Chain A
């Protein structure tokens, strides 16, 4: 048989890499634990623990907490990309990838596209748990899907940032701890769980600067008004800008490794 070498294009290479990552997930379904169990656990714990104190009841607290947990889950799912990339780099498989005549961005892009499946599962679990606890957004399923997609988009944008972190870090363990801290700080120092007015002054200042606050506010507004708000556009535009900055940086860091 004669082997012809086609120079694979970006899309084909990326699709193959994404397929590879999906296969890995299928062979190791336990890797999905964090996106399946964590949101359920957090939703139940936070809902029943703080519901009474913050909103006077679980049901009244759900419109606050559902977007909060949704975004927190996205952050945590996105941070997984960094650790995964670091592990791959350390395993020697990436040497092989890099010695292949494929497009340089494909391994990264493949990973991040496959990770959107994790984000999708995380979003569905979060929203479903909220629904089962009695959350009934008045704006209809269409807008719930819209905020789900917006959250997934944000998670995907952040996964580029965490991927860069993974490439620059020394070890997978380092990525994991840094990611965990970032995730905790970003989600707690925001309006995710506690409404703005209930925060102390310095905390409110930090929360205002926190981009996570923006995303959560945008989502709550969409759910409250049933329309695509100004904030939602801001989140979209910023997301595109972040990817435009971080994608080349991440590829650079990848080449450097």
Chain B
């Protein structure tokens, strides 16, 4: 069973007029893993997801869900996953219970099964108290929870989450993360798109970074960070007018780019030991430092490295 990949995407391409939204994207998702599609706005994440979930027809390429070609067995493929879209795809005008009932019925549950499952999901997602209020009275977080609950009606083995936490406040966001982790523990395979690096870092086992429709990098969060090398050190200069001089000086000492942000200059180090000579150099040049920070590389750095200057 686990020999079959949950998803195989081969050379998926989509053009909107002249614009290539998704360009030859391929990846595989193993069963039970969380796969993140990470990229800036407009990178092609949602378009890719829409093609995988049969909402959008690809210009070329192939998608297999648990070995079934979505182009040939669309309805079968659709019965094997749940989808939570970027915009709450629930009915605003009717109550949470009615939404769950209707979607249960449309998913093929009998009336009684639909009733039971609705009650179960309302409890699981702590929505019983508002179950019969119209959604207009719901907060963003409640709406997302309902949205996710609707995707889980059939207990799909594969769940697509398109930017599950966009627009949520930090508390609701971490609640959503907990919910996602719980699903993973129950053995679900999850594909999520996100613009947030910390989210990908927190949740994903494997990542594809997408920019301008291309997969620019693929790997585990740790691998991607490793490629960046050692820690990054940020100097805050006491005098802004010395920024240019300090930048030149640093550039001669380190291999990577020197990044400048106001009075802050940051460089990537191979090893922490390289820090001492840098400080000495700056000291010799009488360049004062008011603050110093050393950080392990984050996915932010990966992201910046790969997509900087292109947007």
A interface list, Cβ under 8 A from B: 1, 3-8, 12-13, 16-17, 19-20, 23-24, 27-28, 91-93, 95-102, 106
Contacts and interface: CB of A to CB of B under 8 A. Distances in A.
Contacts of A19: 102
A6 B90 contact: no
Interface residues of B, number: 38
Given A5-B154, A6-B110, A95-B83, A101 B78 contact: yes
Interface string B44-55: 000000100111
A16 B89 CA distance: 17
B88 interface: yes
B300 interface: no
Contact of B85 (A5, A27, A92, A102): A92
Interface of B: 50, 53-55, 75-76, 78-79, 81, 83, 85-94, 98, 102-103, 105-110, 113, 116-117, 120, 134, 150, 153-155
A98 B116 CA distance: 24
Which of A28, A91, A106 gathers most chain B CB within 10 Å? Answer: A91
A35 to B, nearest CB: 18
Contacts of A16: 102, 105-106
Contact of B90 (A23, A24, A93): A93
Contacts of A97: 106
Contacts, number: 94
A13 B106 CA distance: 6
A53 to B, nearest CB: 44
Nearest to A25: B93
B109 to A, nearest CB: 7
B79 to A, nearest CB: 4
Given A5-B79, A27-B93, A95 B85 contact: yes
Given A100-B78, A101-B79, A8 B108 contact: yes
A101 B55 contact: no
A99 B117 contact: no
A93 B91 CA distance: 6
A208 B85 CA distance: 50
Contacts of B94: 20, 23-24, 27
A231 B63 CA distance: 53
A93 B83 CA distance: 11
Contacts of B76: 101
Nearest to A90: B87
A1 B145 CA distance: 21
